[in-house]
Amino acid sequence: MVEYRNEWKHEISYCDMLTIRQRMRAVAKVDEHAGPDGTYQVRSLYFDTPVDRALREKIDGVNVREKFRIRYYNDDTSYIKLEKKSKRNGFGNKQSAGLTACEAQTIVDGDYGWMLQSGRPLVAELYSKIITEGLRPKTIVDYTREPFVFAPGNVRVTLDSNIRTGLGCTDFLDPHCVTISAGDPVIIMEVKWDEFLPSIIRKAVGLEHGRSGAFSKYRACRIYG
């Protein structure tokens, strides 16, 4: 059975980020994968159909939708994940499967034949969508993430900034692929939890003027096409 998590997204100011960072450091733990400065770098490659269905469904606010991406962290290509993110009536689910750098590169290069026999259901599902729906790599999304975790409720709070787009470049394993700012600078706070959100976290992330919404880094990074 697919399990969905609660999700909030808020577009916040730089001052808000400083406030929330201070609060979260007082009540939660910095994610173990973060570096000495409490952050890590994320690079993702998003897929879409020839008619940009994933993008259109996001813009139109379709209640049931999905998107595929490949992701790695801190320029470390020894750990790459294929992820499928699903949304249903405001709740989110994420499935993932590991990829080698060679496998990720073959997908970028358009060599899909091996995927059906990979032994990984999610890889086979992406292959099916590539063949039947025309999914293809669409754009690179880079950003800096500051993550916090809180065990009760399986809470994860992240502060994302410096969102950048790869424009027409989809070779996301190429360290020389140029990325530029995805429009006006924004900072996004995401809060995810299972069945309950502890009041201490609810207070820590509370803002009188925060704008809750459905901000999409993928949508932002398609600003130039």
81 lies in a domain?
Answer: yes
| Percent above pLDDT 90 for the chain | 75
How high is the pLDDT of residue 157?
A: 98
Each residue's pLDDT tens digit, 19-73: 999 999 999 999 998 999 999 999 999 999 999 999 998 888 888 999 999 999 9
Residue of 198, 189, 203 whose CA lies nearest to 9: 189
pTM of the model: 0.92
Please enumerate in sequence order all residues whose Cβ is within 8 A of that of 213, keeping only pairs 6 or more positions apart, or say none: 9, 10, 11
225 lies in a domain?
Answer: no
Q: Is the pLDDT assigned to residue 168 strictly greater than 90?
A: no
Please enumerate in sequence order all residues whose Cβ is within 8 A of that of 156, keeping only pairs 6 or more positions apart, or say none: 31, 147, 148, 149, 150, 190, 191, 192, 193
How high is the pLDDT of residue 213?
A: 60
CB contact burial 103-137 (16+ within 10 A = b; e otherwise) = bbbbbbeeeeeebeebebebbebbbebbeeeebeb
Q: Is the pLDDT assigned to residue 4 strictly greater than 90?
A: no
How high is the pLDDT of residue 216?
A: 86
Helix (H, G, I), strand (E, B) or coil at 146: strand
How high is the pLDDT of residue 144?
A: 97
Mean pLDDT over all residues of the chain?
92
Helix (H, G, I), strand (E, B) or coil at 30: strand
192 lies in a domain?
Answer: yes
What is the domain range of residue 98? Answer: 5-220
How high is the pLDDT of residue 178?
A: 86
DSSP-derived secondary structure letter, 48 = E
Domain count, the chain: 1
How high is the pLDDT of residue 60?
A: 87
Each residue's pLDDT tens digit, 97-126: 999 999 999 999 999 999 999 999 999 999
Query: CATH number for the domain including 182?
Result: 3.20.100.30
175 lies in a domain?
Answer: yes
Q: Is the pLDDT assigned to residue 133 strictly greater than 90?
A: yes
178 lies in a domain?
Answer: yes
